[in-house]
Structure 1
């Protein structure tokens, strides 16, 4: 693609800034939520730069440094939300710039120059991104993505212009920063290899220039043994066995793809359960994995953009949704870095010659729907009460949302409603300790109010 004139770049960047600001306007007034208390508010290790320094070495040091800097400037939630929003805007700009690099290598030559901007717009407005932007502790995904996408752009721009100081110098430094935020950034060298391979290079040619990143990755793996990752891995591997993990991930991927990605529905605490044994649903999910892999390979010659989009999506979800067990089976924020690949798969066919006028209308309609849903979702994040009311609405048969709704009601002064919610949590899970403790400590009089709890199965 030809370079964009400066006025076009400025107008495009301003447009992305304005649409993100409009969709996420309510996020700035939101409070800390859920894990924010464990990770930030009640965590003395991020209460200032000196506290952060004393806590090192530790896992995700640069993520914690960002929290410590925020706390040092102001411990209120506003500053955390403002920085998260700025990171998301920067990521949208990076997706636009990186999209032009991808499309130059993978897409038909007659694709309009606006295609990369549409990719950035869909990425910026997808409701699944909300958890990585509005949730203060969701920053682990968005901040890692900032350095990851910047490193990828530097590598591609540097290699194409033979400025190795940019690709192998600056790009490698940015890769190191991404690893310091979140270890799942380790996929970057493979992402660069796949882009080159789907772009027509041989495997040997696709590896060219990746040596510095490979060396850094090996060094980071060695250093992880001294930063507490051994305890992290030990806890993770003890959560469930390999067969149980495979069944769990079938449920997780089905939820993320169908519910969060396609249906545009968000849920902080989805009600997902590990099947006791393989089911037809499990077989269909694994069959879809195999079919997607075959389609990606078969697309390399004719539709390389499609093959790379599939590979990118799977690669970005693999670190957190594959072999290593997680306590929560699925979270919307793990889709954050996968979204550019999804946008690529949508934009290219819709803007192809012959479809272009209709495709632009469909893309605009989709962007408007996403903007409305993201704006509404940010209203849910506006208070603890609103967030857990929305979560209970979407996961009425799960005890934890009811227990958290009880606490939110208690904080709001609705002690009778709090008791009703905790009773509901215990009805769904008699072993839920926190709900039992809260109910026992509650001094409110018992009530006959209907808690709204779903009927027992």
Structure 2
């Protein structure tokens, strides 16, 4: 059932989503290495292997930071508690090193992040939207609903479905706690479902409210919990149960196959995204990029302008708009757009490099040079700025 879930389509067919598959695989391998080491005389070697696999999982996706918590929660081994604590502490140290490195990297100059998905809402609205995420995740995993590329900022905070989904999440949480006390076989996986969702529940701000690619790992825990509960309830499934499962599997496989057509190329993908969530500025921006790559500058300009209408602060769409109008020979307009962006985001090296390109097209290398220098000062390895510097320096 796990392999046939339509909700996995984005994770296995789209490059950004495949990070979830890699992360889950490396996490599972690290987890197994920890427990294998407890049965081996070469425990330090297994623990080192677990640490290396854990680093690979962290490099795939940051949700892997939850692995020490998973291991601590699941650990029902009869081994001495000191051994179990050593394993969990070792994983926690690896996670701490990764988080420190991440903080260092993100402290460097670069583009401003997108606004938090729940910005501008009251504390009660944010709490309701956050509480609804596990409920929405459970519905998306169990019911083969049509795939959606993403969910617009603040979408659920205004939706009448937020309260029922939040209540469903509360019911699932209560069931998980009861199961943890009475039936660990299905209680532990349900707790794991909530833990796997914790990094995407907006305790820390990030721009995507919800996406189906977030559900690869949570779906594993939820299905394991449901399977354990069914096994305890139905001791011997009859022909009706088997037939029902076969029909459900066939339906899920068919839906996944049908929706896979949207992943043929980036143009089809983002056209589908815009149809599904027309108010999502990011989808309009990416559709503009897809059109731009195919030489459709007029179509790209239309999408970038629509993205800016939906989100006037979308600086990436504005930068892309400037590039498109410049390619159409309207360099004065591109100069005005990029100069305005630089005034708002002076530490963004991409803006300086792109404005330098515009000046070179206008035949004004004396204006391009200082911009290239600024871009390289902000990011010494900036690829476009490096190419422009070589061009300006000549052979």
Q: Give the TM-score category using the shorter length.
A: 0.5 to 0.7
Q: Secondary structure at the match of 2:224?
A: helix
Matching residue of 2:252? 370
Deviates more, 1:307-316 or 1:394-403: 394-403
Are 1:221 and 2:96 an aligned pair?
yes
1:357 to 213, 216, 239: 239
CA displacement 1:209-242 (0-9 Å, x = unmatched)? 2413313422541464245457369988984599
Q: Secondary structure at the match of 2:199?
A: coil
2:17 to 114, 134, 138: 138
Are 1:325 and 2:200 an aligned pair?
no
How far the C-alpha of 1:313 sits from its partner, in A, is 0.8
- What is the root-mean-square deviation of aligned Cα atoms in Å? 4.0
Q: Secondary structure at the match of 1:325?
A: coil
**C-alpha separation in 1, matches of 2:51 and 2:308:** 51
CA displacement 1:14-42 (0-9 Å, x = unmatched)? xxxxxxxxxxxxxxxxxxxxxxxxxxxxx
Note if contact 2:132-2:163 (Cα within 8 Å) is conserved in structure 1: no
Are 1:182 and 2:61 an aligned pair?
yes
The structure-2 alpha-carbon separation of the partners of 1:326 and 1:227, relative to structure 1 and needing over 3 Å to count, comes to closer
The structure-2 alpha-carbon separation of the partners of 1:356 and 1:318, relative to structure 1 and needing over 3 Å to count, comes to farther
Matching residue of 2:336? none
How far the C-alpha of 1:150 sits from its partner, in A, is 1.3
**C-alpha separation in 2, matches of 1:330 and 1:155:** 32
Deviates more, 1:313-322 or 1:207-216: 207-216
Matching residue of 2:353? none
CA displacement 1:280-299 (0-9 Å, x = unmatched)? 75554444443322211222
1:257 to 138, 141, 149: 138
Matching residue of 2:219? 339
1:291 to 167, 171, 177: 171
Deviates more, 1:223-232 or 1:207-216: 223-232
**C-alpha separation in 1, matches of 2:238 and 2:40:** 31
TM-score by length of 1: 0.57
**C-alpha separation in 2, matches of 1:376 and 1:419:** 31
Structure 1: 5+ residue stretches without partners: 1-121, 445-457
- The structure showing larger relative contact order (alpha-carbon pairs under 8 Å, at least 6 residues apart) is 1
**C-alpha separation in 1, matches of 2:43 and 2:239:** 41
The structure-2 alpha-carbon separation of the partners of 1:340 and 1:275, relative to structure 1 and needing over 3 Å to count, comes to closer
CA displacement 1:332-355 (0-9 Å, x = unmatched)? 222111121122134345553243
Structure 2: 5+ residue stretches without partners: 330-395
Alignment of 1:45-444 (within 5 A): 122-159=1-38, 164=43, 168=47, 170-197=49-76, 208-222=83-97, 224-229=99-104, 231=106, 239=116, 240=119, 243=123, 246-250=127-131, 252-259=133-140, 262-273=143-154, 281-300=161-180, 302-350=182-230, 352-412=234-294, 417-418=299-300, 421-422=303-304, 424-429=306-311, 432=314, 434=317, 437=322, 440=325, 443=328
The structure-2 alpha-carbon separation of the partners of 1:190 and 1:370, relative to structure 1 and needing over 3 Å to count, comes to same
Matched residues, number: 318
Deviates more, 1:325-334 or 1:363-372: 363-372
Q: Secondary structure at the match of 2:278?
A: coil
**C-alpha separation in 1, matches of 2:21 and 2:144:** 22
The structure-2 alpha-carbon separation of the partners of 1:172 and 1:311, relative to structure 1 and needing over 3 Å to count, comes to same
TM-score by length of 2: 0.65
Q: Secondary structure at the match of 1:340?
A: helix
How far the C-alpha of 1:360 sits from its partner, in A, is 2.7
**C-alpha separation in 2, matches of 1:138 and 1:429:** 24
How far the C-alpha of 1:380 sits from its partner, in A, is 0.8
